[in-house]
Amino acid sequence: MDSDPFQNNEFERSIPFNPELLSSLLKNCIFEKNVIFKNVIGSTNVFLKNLAQQGYPEGTVVIADEQSAGLGRLGRQWFSKEGKNLLFSVLLRPGLLPNQIFILTFIFALAAIEAVQQMTGLGAMIKWPNDIYIREKKLGGILTEFAVQKGVVQHVVLGMGLNVNWNPTTEQKLLYPTSSIFAETQQAVSREQLLHKILKIFEKMYHEVIEDINPAERFYKKWNDKSAILGKSVVIETGKERVQGEAASIGKDGALTLICADGHERKFLCGDVSVKMNFSEL
Ligand code: BTN
């Protein structure tokens, strides 16, 4: 018998996601009513943004086993193996201001980190502003998109790709050092149970956010505690410049404060920036 699970053909076989199981686990949750599952879709975010415009309610979830045009931040592709990982988007209609939407990205990441910790014991972290990292490798990413009309947020679509039962080292198209729960633990995890946990934990934090008049105050210590980059030397790329420095803190406005080589502090907002922790990343 082959003892290396990565060499084991059984493991390489994909197990289809079971949306009925997820729905049964999601009882009494805002995500209970509209669970939409697709075997293959272009992008769960694009699909859900369309539904949002048609008036679908808050709590609609779209999950796919495979995306043919998965999107990452900054126009990048999101690559995943069919039937192995979590690829999903949720629709929210919070009464938040556009400059508070970053809080939802952070609590979405915190929910995934907490769920992974509860199910596997792994200590994943947030790589500001939207990545989930484990030991300097990417475990997942979040794509947050929202529509604003006359200064009012109409809807928010939070999309997450999380590497679960995949062996990323066998793939060629990866942009970053990449890991998965399986690669870290050699244990396959139920994607339905993991997604259920993520959504339940997220729902609790989401209610705290929308009911609090100052939600950043409540959560900013948590996103600093779970930051993968604080105290580390990083390079920030804004499209116009590359700035190297030590990541010092992430503020209540979501901005990263960097201490540059000359000792000056610079603040970077979450927008169109990318962060590199090591030079093997593109
Ligand atoms: C990133 O790291 O740049 C963000 C990646 C986000 C990927 C997820 S997969 C589900 C959802 N649908 C998409 O097309 N993208 C997000």
Q: Ligand 1, from 45, 49, 106, 162: best to mutate by most atoms within 8 Å of Cβ?
A: 45
Residue 205 tokens read as 């934090």
* Residue 144 CA, ligand 1 centroid: distance in Å: 9
pLDDT of res. 11: 55
Rg (CA), the chain: 18
* Residue 179 CA, ligand 1 centroid: distance in Å: 16
* Residue 67 CA, ligand 1 centroid: distance in Å: 10
pLDDT of res. 238: 87
Residue 84 tokens read as 């192995």
Write the pLDDT tens digit of every residue in 172-205: 677 788 999 999 999 999 999 999 999 999 999 9
Q: Give the atom of ligand 1 at the shortest distance from the alpha carbon of 76.
A: 3
pLDDT-derived band at 1 (thresholds 50, 70, 90) equals: very low
Q: Ligand 1, from 160, 195, 277: best to mutate by most atoms within 8 Å of Cβ?
A: 160
pLDDT of res. 2: 44
Ligand 1 contact via 129 beta carbon (within 6 Å)? no
pLDDT-derived band at 3 (thresholds 50, 70, 90) equals: very low
Is 224 in contact with 230 (CB distance < 8 Å)?
Answer: yes
CB hemisphere CA count around 264 (13 angstroms):
5
Is 56 in contact with 83 (CB distance < 8 Å)?
Answer: no
Write the pLDDT tens digit of every residue in 29-74: 999 989 999 999 999 999 999 999 999 999 999 999 999 999 999 8
Rounded to 5 degrees, φ, ψ at 152 are: -110, 135
Q: What is the mean pLDDT of residues 240-258?
A: 94
Count other Cβ atoms within 10 Å, centred on residue 170.
9
Count other Cβ atoms within 10 Å, centred on residue 19.
16
CA distance 207 to 94: 9
Q: Is this model's pTM higher than 0.85 or not?
A: yes
Output the residue whose Cα is nearest ligand 1's atom 16. 159
pLDDT of res. 209: 97
Q: Give the atom of ligand 1 at the shortest distance from the alpha carbon of 73.
A: 3
Write the pLDDT tens digit of every residue in 92-113: 999 999 999 999 999 999 999 9
pLDDT of res. 279: 44
Query: pLDDT above 90 covers what percent of the chain?
Result: 80
Ligand 1 contact via 176 beta carbon (within 6 Å)? no
Q: Which of 163, 197, 194, 196 is nearest to 181 (CA)?
A: 163
CA distance 172 to 42: 20
